Amino acid sequence: MDNNSMQNRICLVTGASAGIGKATALGLAQQGATVVMVARSVERGQATLNEIQQATRNPNLHLLIADLASQAAIRRLAEDFQARFSALHVLINNAGVISATRQVTVDGYELQFAVNHLAYFLLTHLLLDTLKASTPARIINVSSQVHSWATLNFEDLQSEQHYEPRKVYGMTKLANVYFTMALAQRLAGTGVTVNCLHPGVIQTQLMRDYGTAMSGDTPEAGARTSIYLATSPAVEGVTGGYFVNQRQAEAAEKSQNSAIAERLWTISAQMTGLA
Ligand SMILES: NC(=O)c1ccc[n+]([C@@H]2O[C@H](COP(=O)([O-])OP(=O)(O)OC[C@H]3O[C@@H](n4cnc5c(N)ncnc54)[C@H](OP(=O)(O)O)[C@@H]3O)[C@@H](O)[C@H]2O)c1
């Protein structure tokens, strides 16, 4: 799509206060989209919004506040969005966390599983009718290449028996791929597509718990595939894909296992009160 074609397109980006999400919001704002930035901190969110507004002069930037570790907050976020906007053309589930120690959310779930997977699942479902009424519409789930060495342990999805932060993180990123595949099947023919991606290895604050910055490419480079999936006519109608470097790639073979994807779907629906 050229610059004009993103005008009047409403895009929601979670984790827009930092890293890849911030660069994604900036890129979409540069293309003239209406960008709804979701952040958990008013201060960080507003500072980022101001920065992007100054850089792009885009008058259509908005901030919504939600701690995505709380399902009540996700429900309020969806209500706030629907009260203020009548359409949603692009939903980018991007917010993510790696927690060095096992933490439990207000809903009683392990934090990484809650923020990296259940929040994608719940927010998408709450906004699905709006997306379906706004077709063509696109859902983009930011996963990671680390999904390929992860496994889902259904006996210990909450990592109560064993918590190894990076393994748990990998499991949540594999869950992103399963969610994308299972959702794509359900959305076939609706005009709403869903794809997931690996953004690259990107310099962000993702490893903040370890007191180290991630080394790698710039956040701008990390946002390219998300922006491509949100805007490019080349992926109009493409769904259920896994993308790396703005190209469709093979997700790990295990992520094509629809029995596992469906089992995860059922459990996720129960855990988010949707079933
Ligand atoms: N960096 C990489 O190399 C890499 C590689 C593969 C995949 N990814 C994926 O890329 C996505 C973005 O990560 P990043 O690297 O840009 O990390 P980041 O710089 O740490 O940014 C993460 C974003 O998520 C937000 N967030 C975290 N927990 C939240 C919560 N409970 N409620 C609301 N927002 C929350 C953060 O908000 P605050 O500003 O308030 O903390 C921040 O805006 C993640 O899904 C990650 O898994 C990253």
Q: What is the pTM of this model?
A: 0.98
* Residue 45 beta carbon below 6 angstroms from any ligand 1 atom: no
H/E element, 199: none
pLDDT of the residue at 5: 82
Between 3 and 113, the more confident residue is: 113
Q: Which residues are catalytic?
A: 169
Indicate the pLDDT class of residue 213, thresholds 50, 70 and 90: confident
Are 207 and 166 in contact, with CB atoms under 8 Å apart? no
pLDDT at 214 over 90: no
| Cβ-Cβ contacts under 8 Å for 193 (sequence gap 6 or more) | 136, 137, 138, 139, 184, 187, 235, 237, 238, 239
Residue 3, pLDDT > 70, answer no
Average pLDDT of the segment spanning 217-234: 98
For 111-161, the pLDDT digits (tens) are 999 999 999 999 999 999 999 999 999 999 999 999 999 999 999 999 999
- If you measure from the C-alpha of residue 176 to the centroid of ligand 1, how many angstroms do you get, rounded to a whole number? 14
Candidate from 97, 147, 207 with most ligand 1 atoms within 8 A of CB, to mutate: 97
Burial of 275 (0-12, 13-18, 19+ CB in 10 A): exposed
Q: How far is CA 266 from the centre of its chain?
A: 20
Q: Whose CA is nearest to atom 20 of ligand 1?
A: 206
Q: How far apart are CA 1 and CA 172, in angstroms?
A: 31
Class of domain 3-271: alpha beta
**Given pLDDT bands bounded at 50, 70 and 90, which one contains residue 4?**
low
Kindly tell me if the per-residue pLDDT of 2 is higher than 60: no
Cis peptide before 165 (omega within 30 of 0): no
On whether the CB atoms of residues 91 and 131 are closer than 8 A, the answer is yes
61 alpha-carbon distance from chain centroid? 19
**pLDDT over threshold 60, residue 198:** yes
| Distance in Å, CA 189 to ligand 1 centroid | 31
* Distance in Å, CA 222 to ligand 1 centroid: 12
Which two tokens mark 29?
């704002």
**pLDDT at site 206:** 94
Question: What is the H or E stretch that residue 125 is in?
Answer: helix 119-132
Query: CA torsion 180→72→109→100, rounded to 10°?
Result: 90
CA 56 to chain centre: 23
Q: Which residue has the tokens 């699942």?
A: 121
Interval 38-53 mean pLDDT: 98
Q: How confident is the model at residue 1 (pLDDT cuts 50, 70, 90)?
A: very low
Query: Is any atom of ligand 1 closer than 6 Å to the C-beta of 12?
Result: no
pLDDT reading at 66 higher than 60:
yes
CA gap 15, 250 in Å, rounded:
26
> What average pLDDT is seen over the chain?
96
Q: In the chain, what are the domain boundaries?
A: 3-271
CA 20 to ligand 1 centroid distance, Å: 7
Of ligand 1's atoms, which has the minimum distance to the CA of residue 114?
31
What pLDDT score does 225 carry? Answer: 98
Q: Is 142 in the pocket of ligand 1 (CB under 6 A)?
A: yes
| Mean pLDDT score, 37-46 | 98
**Residue 168 CB–ligand 1 contact under 6 Å:** no
197 lines ligand 1 (CB under 6 A): no
Residues of the chain with pLDDT > 90: what percent?
A: 96
Q: What number is the average pLDDT over the span 193-200?
A: 98
